[in-house]
Every structure is written in structure tokens, then in C-alpha cells.
Amino acid sequence: MTHQCDEPVTQMHISPSMTVGELVNAMGKAGAYNGGSLCHAAEIYEQMLRDCDATKFFGLAGAMVPAGMGGIVSDLIRDGYIDILVSTGANLTHDIIEAIGCRHFHGTAFCSDIELRHDEINRIYDVYLPNAAFEHFEAFMQRVYGELEPKSTISISGLLRHIGSHLKTGILATAAQEEIPVYCPAVQDSMVGLQYWLFSQTNKVTVDAFADMPALLDTCFATKKAGALLVGGGVPKNFILQSMLMTPNGFDYAIQLTGDRPDLGGLSGATLDEARSWGKITEEAKAVTVYGDATITLPVLVAAVMERLSHA
């Protein structure tokens, strides 16, 4: 194989008036490491959002809402750039906490966690969340669950839509308003699930964990193309990518923002090329993984692409 040296690295120059889009374009001309990958991700994400035939999936893992990233997700839903959202239950828990008027607070990772425990403060790296927020959360959840029809059966997405209909802001509220399905296949692994268990001790409403599959797979069979933006990995990433396995289709666009390594064998670090071997992503798919902190890569990526779309 002959290797060509015909595309030189362009040195970056930063100007005071430079926009986010211009910065990402300059990173692409430098083209090295994850700066170059982020520019490539912007190119793929722009194509995906412009493709009217593409069903747009969004996977949300990691503690993104406590870090202030939830607003980006709700805005993307509002603006029609997410057709299907798959999230961890933890992110939805924190979304609800914010929506009912409680807040996450700036803290520090260099502290005594024993002292925080005594002060009834929970820590997510350098974000603090007082126990009082969960007291308000419990009161809200029990009230909302109490409005479910007795002895009924509901899907997980239906349960989340019910919760969202009682909120005015945030991811679940916006998804309910825009009629965008939110799937949370591991909802038990969250305070949303624990509060439902508490409710179920004195009430009979069945949450059917498999009830979401028909609508999801109907969408996958019917879609002409599919694209996914995956923030982190875990259950949301796998749930999204495996949704195409039952169909003759695969994902045509895929972007992964992760800080995990591929060589440990974990899904969160697994490359998107690996997904081609499973048929989850098509052989011709446009795909890229950007390694780094998603609290940096997600807002920069979305800002750059929104800028490009605004110039259309």
C-alpha cells in the first residue's frame, strides 16, 4: 500500500472574533488527534441532521444533566433534531430534580466525603446535590405516580411521558410536549425506579419492560436511514445500536463521544468500527469516535453544527 503525503497540517490561528464553527473548522484543518475527530464529527452530524430520510437517535449516558448538559438535549428535542431519545434513569432523575425547582451546585472533588455525608450533601465529582432535593423529588414522584390509572399496564416510555406531562421544563417535559419517545431500558437502576418500587408497595400498576419494543422496532423497520449521536456508552448505546439487529438495516451515521478506552473490552469504549462487525452500523456508514470529556465535546459539536445549519 502506498501512503500519500498530500494533505498538510495547517497551523491554527485564533482570533478574538472567531465563532465556535470557525474554531472547529480550524481544528479540522489542523486535523490531528481528537480535534480533527471533532471536526469530522461535526461534518457527519450536519449531514445527519440535514438528511430528511434519517431517523435521529440520541443516547445519553454519564452524569450529563448534573453537569449542565441537559439543556442541550432538551433544545435539540425542541428544534426537531432528536426523533428517539434513550437515556439512563440517572440523567432523567436529575432532569426531574431540576424541573421541579431544585438545583445542582458547584462543589469540589477535593473534599471530605465523610463530612459531605454528615452535611447531607451528595457528590458527583465536583457537583453537589443536597439530600433536600431528593425529598422534594420523592414528594413529586409519589404524587405523579398516584395519578396513574389503578390496575393499568404502562410501558416505560409511557411512564416517562406521564412524568414529563407534569413538568414545565427539561428533557422529559420537552419530549412530552413534542411527542418524542424517551426510552430508559434500565429505569430500575435509578431513583425513578426506586420511587416506582415504593409506589408499588401500596398500589397496583404494572410497568411492562417489553411494551416499548413493538413501536421501537416498527420505527427501525420503517426507517429509510438511521443516525445516532451517542454521549457515553452503557445501556443507551447498546439499546440504540442493537435496535437495528432485527432489521435488514443498520445505522448510516454514528457519532460517539466518550472518554473510555477500547482495549478494555467495555461497550462504552468500543469503537464504532467494532459495531460494523455486528451489522449494527452499515459497511458504508459515516462514523467517528471523539475521545474526551463530553462536557467539552458535546457543546462544541452542537454549537458548531447549529451555526452551520443557521447559514443554510
Residue pair 301/257 in contact (Cβ under 8 Å)? The answer is yes
What residues have CB less than 8 Å from 132, skipping those under 6 apart?
A: 102, 120
Identify the three-state secondary structure at position 130: strand
Identify the three-state secondary structure at position 7: coil
Is 29 assigned a catalytic role? Answer: no
Main-chain phi, psi angles of 16, to 5 degrees: -60, -30
Task: Given the residues 56, 237, 280, 286, select the one marked as catalytic.
Answer: 280
Length of the chain (residues): 312
Catalytic residue positions? 280
